[in-house]
Structure 1
Amino acid sequence: MRAQRGPTLSLRHLLIALTAIGLLPLAALGAWSVHLAAEYHQSEQERTLLDLARALSSAVDAELDGTVATLASMARTPALEAGDLAAFYPIARDQARAQTEWLGVTLAGSDGRMVFRTTAPYGAAPQPIADPSSLRLALVLRRPVIGHVARGQGGRAAVPVRYPMTDVHGRPYVLTAIVQPDRIMRVVTRQQVPPGSVITVLDGDGAIVARSKGGQDLIGTVPSPSLARLIRLNGPEGAGQTQSIEGATLASAYTRLSRYGWTVAVGAPPVGWAGGPTEGFKWYGAGIVLSLALSIGLASLLARRIVRRIAAVEAGAAALGAGTELALPHSRIREIDAMGTALAAAGARRAAHEQERGRLLDSLADALARREDALEQARQAGRAKDEFLAVLGHELRNPLAPIAGALDLMDLRGDGAGLRERGIMRRQVEHLKHLVDDLLDVSRIASGKLRIDVRPVDLAAVVRHAVVALPDQPIRVQAPDVLWVDGDEHRLAQVLGNLLSNAARFGSTDTRVTLDRADGAARLVVVDNGVGMEAGLAARVFEPFYQAPQPLVRHAGLGLGLAIVHRIVELHGGRVSAHSDGPGLGSRFEIRLPLGAPACATPPAAVHAAAQALRVLVVDDNEDAAALTAAVLRELGHDVRTAHTAAAGLDVQRHGRPTRRSSTSACPTWTATRWPPPCAAPQRGRCGSPPSPATAARRVWPHMRKSTSPCSTCT
């Protein structure tokens, strides 16, 4: 693996960097000390600001207490205590005029409606109550409440100070003084704070009551967003950095410990790092820069001497690469002198290595040539294996057809002896025939000769026919009446048959087949309750010749069925997947195929049985197959002759011409009808009764059609 190259440095720059790195600990220690001092100053400033905010909060509470005390003395007036509001009105009016910061006095009843106000004659129509929430709060809490600052119709800002009381008849009232915030503003402006500081007093709703900057224009507005966020996120008291309304950065502290729910915030220009570099910080930085410049100068002088010696070593290394003689001068630097000696030794070793490298290259060329020969032999062996499988399948099929036909002929004759043995032989022949078909299909897949005849197919009908062909298996089917796809009906039936056989082989006692539409495609699902699979096995079941562990399998196979299923589904433009929740939990196979258009409805061709006995000539180079076919036809009442070569067949035809039937098919009687599948259990007790002669005869023809010998001639 190639090393990832980064930025390079010259020796001079490296020495300078080394010198700077040596100063880093000292610089870091000094910076840390300065940082601690800055943090200390910052914490001290926050503590001082918080103390000032607490003092201002106490002063604001004192001003509000004075107003509350005045209202309390008014509430003890005999006229108000007796409930004589008309007599109390001039007292309240005179008191309001005596207080220069008061805009007026109002009295409200328990229903929240205004009884009178001193700014209007007694008995005047009541006006809506400003800040009704604080009035209700005073009636509920029965204690003084300070309302929210607001501006009246005249544009003057005022704060309602409410005092609840009860007369001798038990009727509750709320006496309210409408107070301008001028007294609070005077408390704020009297404070001695550093230049650039800002003091803000907020009411219980967070609105500005007084501010050291901005004057009357900011009363009733909200503070800066950073200050509002600092107050919202912290507790009753806190400190932090904020941005003022004017845009200045401030170190702020606030307190909300006022008895009336008001907030006092104090902000000042920050000190320490937050306030920018001080004079001491500047001198410290200048010293660090000067020390670094002096160190860089000394490192440059030393680097110049070292670089000259290294240049000589570099020239020697170039000579080593070119294969010329090395000439390295002596150096007073021991490391560089050692490098020169090492280069000389490397030159000697290089010559030896070049010779060894030549020998290795020759060996590598020989190994590559042998590798190519081995690959070609492997490819030839693979082709030979595929050809062997194809020939083996064809050669095995020839003797299988007469064996299966002989069993059918026994059933056709109604011979009751050996029923059980014939059933065993039939099942084993069918199993062997299935293995041979799988071998032939795999050879076609390997050679790329597997083809499908695409036409509209009713997949629902294919599913039902495939299930009916397996009466011994417990299968439940759920499918629509019709579901059309484009494909090969025979191959699709083979796919479902392989999946159902696989379920039976792995011990399924309840197999469910479901066909439906899903996401614009036909979905065919086969679920069994067999031995199941592990996750690694489910990922490899579609590989050719791969088999599950043999203790799990009831009947051994070649491991080709699912590989054939996978290839056929691919040729139909679909996909197949396998899933299992684990050993003993069954398996689930899902196939998705593209939907197709329905086929044009055409009535099936009628099949007519022969009304009379015929003279039939059977020509087949397989003597057993010819004899078996002749025996079946004789059982059906026909006059049959046999021949095993084309010349013999022509000779028989010349001496006794058989009955001729007009047909464009080489074997019209055999290919005109698609017979239903044979009974899987012909013996009595499983199927109910031995098959009829016609049923047994129908079993013979498929075996004959699949023979590799020339098709028998029938007329």
Structure 2
Amino acid sequence: MPSRPRPSLPLRWHLVRLVVGTLLPIVAFACGLFFFFARAEREAAERRVLTSARSLAEAFDSDMAGSVSTLEALAASSLLDAGHLQDFQEQCARVLKTQRGWLTVILATPDGAPLLNTSFPWGSPLPPVAEPESLARVSQTLRPVVGNLASGRGPQQRLAVPLRVPVLRDGELRFVLTAVVAAEALGDVVARQASDDVEWTRTLVDGRGYVAARTRDPARFVGRQATPSFLERTRTSHEGVYADRSLEGEPVHAAFSRTESGWTATVVSPRRVLDAAARRSLLAGGLLGLAMLLLSIIGAWALARRIERSISEAADAADALARGTPVRMGLAEVRELARLNEALERSGSLLEARERERDALLAEAEVARAEAISATRAKDAFLAMLGHELRNPLAPIVSSMERLRLRGLAETPEHEVIGRQLNHVVRLVDDLLDLARIVRGQMSLHREPVELADVVARAAEAVAPLISQRKHTLELEVPRSGLTVFGDADRLTQVVSNLLTNAAKYTPPGGMLKLWVEALPEQVCLSVEDNGEGVAPELAERIFAPFVQGPRSVDRTVGGLGIGLALVQSVVTAHGGRVELHSEGPGTGSTFTVWLPRHTAAEPPAEAPPAREERAGQEAVAAEAPLAAKPRVLLVDDNVDAAEALADLLEMSGYPVAVAHDHRQALQRLESFTPDVAILDIGLPEVDGYGVAASLRERLGEASPVFAALTGYGQREDRSRSEAAGFQHHFVKPVRLEELVAFLEQHRKSRRGAA
């Protein structure tokens, strides 16, 4: 059936479409230029705002430096050396009159006891020192300190800022001299920085985030805390410009710069001021582009009518020729109409080629995306297979070493070396897989109230062989109670163990290691200090990144993969804490400090021990109960060495064991052996461990054994799958004998009849 011809459009519409298609890229390019120029103008405005913030910070530092210089001159007074404090107070009062904005001068002891205050007559009772935090910083640093905004202790309780300088004699801190500067004086500092930009608001914020001075509405906002978004941004950067809302709730662009004293100078400009140029440029570009487009469409429409007139005349001439009437043709204005059609066809072909190129690029991008997803999945599968393949050969080695130990054949130093290195390999595998789980966000925590003293004890016991091998001295300062946190005991033990291991590795033999724990009001602080190699500044910035290590010798005596500290940071962060490194550089040792949230919930009361009569009754019942029989164990593993070694260990521990290496052998063992517990390898040939468990349940029915998985796959999804399949436990190779025995002891069955 022939297809219907497509409806045609008048020539004028084709010309309009051509004009629109041609001009749109030009209009878009012009709008892009307008946007570029508007953006450049806005960036220049942001630089001006940031320069103003820097100038304000410099002016504040300069003003504070002048006051500090005056205080330091007072601190050098000989009246203090002679102990003439009353005369010194008169001297301070004279200086006070010369200083703009000073409210009072205070002399205090390093522990904060006031000795004189120019606002009170000599001998009068003096109020305590306000804002003691800055006083403590002077005592710690022995340097001048600009304190934070605080309310005065006098009757007016005016907002003021303390400037404190240490009074040193022979290198010893004797007194702390303080000048209390009124908040209004800081207002003069910001007012002096005012410019013609009346829309800008200049603000000084103290170290705690409170507004100390402001050019706009200071009576309302001085003494209030800055916005949370401002505090968050200024904590992480020294200076910058960002979009925010002002204290009045108005959309603004805020520029800030940190002062030398820890304060923040801020210049705020309404967004409409900085964005006005961009809006004007975009509006002008849009209107200009629209006007060009409309004019072009009108011109194309007029031209099309003229061309249509010529074509209509030619058609009328052809009709006239067919009717045999005289042909009357006017002068044609278009001589190359056919070439115009060809040009349009070429334009269409060009557009189609560009679309095909775009489709090809999209197809290539989709292929690259699919390859990236496939590579990620392959990496995850490789890590899971890596754990399985590494743990499979480790399992028989660990079991064989345990057999030698139980037989008394592992007492030589060589066996101790093998045991230590084997444990090291197992730990490397576990760390590598732990890191893979953390990177994928699959780390699970079993939280409960945990006493850090117990965690430290377990970690110190685990690291004791390494510390002894390197002849270190470990000093522990850990209170036995009062250090409760809410977390995963095993993961926290891993954190402390990794920190101790790191300190032991990077400290030369015979070094000193120290671990102490301190209970703070809302946190518990744990620190590990060593006098070892220390950390260079360029390495300290990325020490917690995976696979980052310090300088290694050719023999790699300290070993490791460089993921221990990455695990520490990930586990601590997952517990809501943080970890920091402090080191003065190479050869100065290092200190790792961990802060964890303190658990304050009330602990359940301990159960009282049963009375003597109750205990006696329980012992009598236990004596009359039938003796528990060792459970019979069916062990199925295609790794012959691992299966035979583990079976030998279980038999040495008194458990009846039957061994099979595949599905068929496991079913054959049922003909002469009924197991109480079945320990199945998941990765069996032909039929996996889940299929073997299903066959055993089908064959034995209600007499089915308790199932436990024994595999090299230890990811979270592997454990979830084994649990869903009815397995009571998921052991990861190499399994520890005491863990396996503890599981078997939970499933003893009572003997029937007399023993």
* TM class, shorter-length: 0.3 to 0.5
TM-score normalised according to structure 2 size:
0.40
